[in-house]
A = this chain, B = another copy of it.
Amino acid sequence: MTASIPDIVISRLPIYLRALERLAQDGHEVTSSLELGKHLGISSAQIRKDLSHFGGFGKQGTGYKIKYLTEQLRQVLKVEQEWEIALVGAGDLGSAVARYRGFAHRGFRVAYVFDSAASKAGKRLGNLEIYPMEKLHEIISERQIKVAMIAVPAESAQQVADALIAAGVRAILNYAPINLNVPAHVRVQYIDPVIHLQRMTYYISE
C-alpha cells in the first residue's frame, strides 16, 4: 500500500468496485482492464495504471480475478466493514435516502436519523427512530459516527454540517444544492444530479 494515492485515482476506485460487483452478480469470475474499460468508458491503460498503485492485482494478459480484486479494493477504500451513517433530514428526500436499498453489502448502513421538526421526533423512519437535533452531538460523539448525509434545505445545510463536524464527523455526503465550508480534515461529496445530466447532453445529437 503506497502512502499517497492521487485523489483522482481514489475517486475512480468506487466506480471500478461497482462494475466488479455487477460483473460478479452476472456470474463472471474473471475480467480484464479491456472489459472494465468498455463498461465504464475509461481506457484500459488508465485502469491498469490506477490499479497498479496498489500492486499485484493481476498480470497483463491473464486478467483480474473479480473476487480478489473486489476484496482488495474494499480494503483500500476501507469499506470491508460497515460504516454507520448519521442522516440529517427526514423529509421527502431523507425518507427516500433512508430507504435506499443500494447501501447493503457495500460498506454503509443508515444507523441514526435526525430532524429539526419537533413533530417528527420520536416517530419512526422504517426501523429507525427519528431523533431531535438536540440529541445529535451526544449520539454522534458517543457512538463515534464518522460518516453523515445531509438531506435538509439549502438554508440549513451549513449549520447542520457545522454541528456534525463538531460532533466528530469526518465525511459528509451533501444532498443540498449548496457548497459547504468545512475544515481541511473533513471530506465533502455532493449529490448533484446536474453534474450527471451534463455528462450526457454532450452526446445527444439533434
Q: Which of A15-66 contact B (CB under 8 A)?
A: 15, 17-18, 22, 41-43, 46
> Is A198 an interface residue when CB atoms closer than 8 A count as contact?
yes
Given contact pairs A97-B193, A193-B102, A197-B189, A202 touches B10 in the complex (Cβ within 8 A): yes
Interface bracket on A: 35 or more
Of A77-85, A134-142, A158-166, the stretch lying at the interface with chain B is: A77-85
A140 to chain B, nearest CB (A): 14
A19 to chain B, nearest CB (A): 9
> Is A3 an interface residue when CB atoms closer than 8 A count as contact?
no
> Max chain B CB contacts within 10 Å: which of A13, A22, A204?
A204
Q: Mask for A178-191, Cβ within 8 A of B = 1, else 0?
A: 01000000010111
Asked if B42 and A8 sit within 8 Å, CB to CB, the answer is yes
Tell me the complex Cα distance, A197–B172, Å: 8
Tell me the complex Cα distance, A144–B5, Å: 45
Some 11 contacts from A to B, beta carbons below 8 A apart, are A6-B43, A8-B46, A11-B41, A77-B201, A96-B96, A106-B194, A106-B198, A107-B197, A149-B193, A173-B196, A189-B197
Nearest first, the 9 A-B pairs at minimum CB distance are A102-B177, A93-B96, A171-B200, A7-B41, A189-B196, A14-B198, A187-B200, A92-B96, A78-B201
